[in-house]
Amino acid sequence: MNEQEGPQQGKAKGDAKAIKLVAENRKARHEYEVLDTLEAGLVLCGSEVKSLRNGKGNIAEAWIKFVDGEAWLCDAHISHYVHAHQFNHEPRRERKLLLRNEQIEKWQRKVAEKGHSVIALKLFFSGPWCKVQIGLAKGRKLHDKRDAIKEREDHRELQRSHASRR
């Protein structure tokens, strides 16, 4: 999946898995240049899944760290589930990501390079499974952000002019 593609919402005809978007990091593509994306599963407890099914997740500040050959999602906030009482979870705990060893090693090498980091882009359900779309990103400078905004505005203007000709 490249950076333009993402989890598609809804259920297409003949599609076995419905995609339900829970949370999206909208500032990520403004703050960072996303070089590559990847889908990863999450290890969650029951109250976290119930809370996410109710749409109570936030990944605006989430990032991924690599420790001992494992990937961990940090600073993702999943609110308490109201009906879990004493069996509730810690909202900002670190959650393990389910990735293949080759993927972890490849991305860990890239993160070791100066200026690269891994951030969470989208949190969604794919069928019964909760997944997170992560992106290998490089931070943008202020002038790069301005260039990106100008490019986006130029593209919108071009689309408007094509639409008005029809």
Question: What's the pLDDT tens digit per position in 39-95?
Answer: 999 998 888 888 889 888 899 999 999 999 999 999 999 888 888 777 788 878 899
Show me where the domains of the chain are located: 19-140
Torsions phi, psi for 7 (to 5 deg): -65, 130
pTM for the model stands at 0.73
Please indicate whether residue 148 or residue 74 has the higher confidence score (pLDDT): 74
Query: Could you tell me how far CA 133 lies from the centroid of its own chain?
Result: 4
Q: What is the identity of the amino acid at 73?
A: L
At the top level of CATH, which class does the domain 19-140 belong to?
A: mainly beta
Write the CB contacts of 19 (distance below 8 Å, at least 6 apart in sequence). 7, 8, 9, 10, 11, 124, 125, 126
* SS3 of residue 161 by DSSP: helix
